[in-house]
Amino acid sequence: MNGIRKNMKACLIISGGDYDDTCLKVTAAPEGTAVYCNAKKNDGETDEAYGFVIACDRGYHHAIRMGIMPDVLVSDFDSFDGEVDERVIVERHPSAKNDTDTMLAVKYALEHGYEKIDIICGLGGRADHTFANYQTGVYAAGRGAEISFLSADTRIYFLAGNGVNTLELDPVKGYGLSVFSMTEKCKGLVLRNVAYETEGIELTHDAAELTGESNEFSDEGKSAFISLETGTLMVMICRK
């Protein structure tokens, strides 16, 4: 690697859920530590490092354990009470608040111009926290961000008709693909290069007529293509 190339529009958020560093590669160089995602390509890490790292509450412990010094800590300090390095900007919030720490971190990223947001340590653990993170994904996608949640067994992406509305995913061996409407309706849904293809269909939130669960990647090794016209779609890649 000839120096660190950072995507200054890409932000990594380390949430306070179960510890999981399987989707990251951390490297040291004279310019400083670089953090890469290795869950987006079959051939290893992406070409560019994250330009910014936010830790959420207990996620600060996770970050330090991973060898990462976050740029910002967003926390109400209800599950983290340790020392914070003086180089880290601290965004302190009361424990009685309307947003989760992860939502506050996403809002911070959006307010500071980050267009691509990957979140780790945000899945598993309490079911209500996980579902709240799904809502966070809907919020960010509706505001034009490319947002994903990454873990050892699951990768979750969000598409919005009024934002990022197309997605291409390389096949992942041993994983299935499912799509869910996170709004009342997703219209104009297109799925190509998968076992069950669609062209411009409507998917509803209650899955009354059609479910988007348990699709498969193409046997030909082609990248799955997903797009929609209106609504917000959650795309899940899960280990079988």
- Per-residue confidence band for 24, with pLDDT thresholds at 50, 70 and 90: confident
Length of the chain, please?
240
Q: Do 182 and 233 touch, CB atoms closer than 8 A?
A: yes
CA distances from 49 to 24, 34, 36, 180, 200 (A): 10, 6, 5, 30, 35
3-state secondary structure of 190: strand
- pLDDT (mean) for 161-183: 91
Mean of all residue pLDDT scores within the chain: 87
- Assess whether pLDDT exceeds 50 at residue 85: yes
Tokens found for residue 182: 């996170």
Confidence (pTM): 0.89
Give per-residue burial for 61-81: e unless 16+ CB within 10 Å, then b.
Answer: bbbbebebbbbbbbbbbeebe
Where do runs of H (alpha helix) occur along the chain? 59-66, 101-111, 127-141
pLDDT in tens, 115-128: 999 999 998 778 88
In the chain, what are the domains? 1-152 (3.40.50.10240), 156-240 (3.40.50.10240)
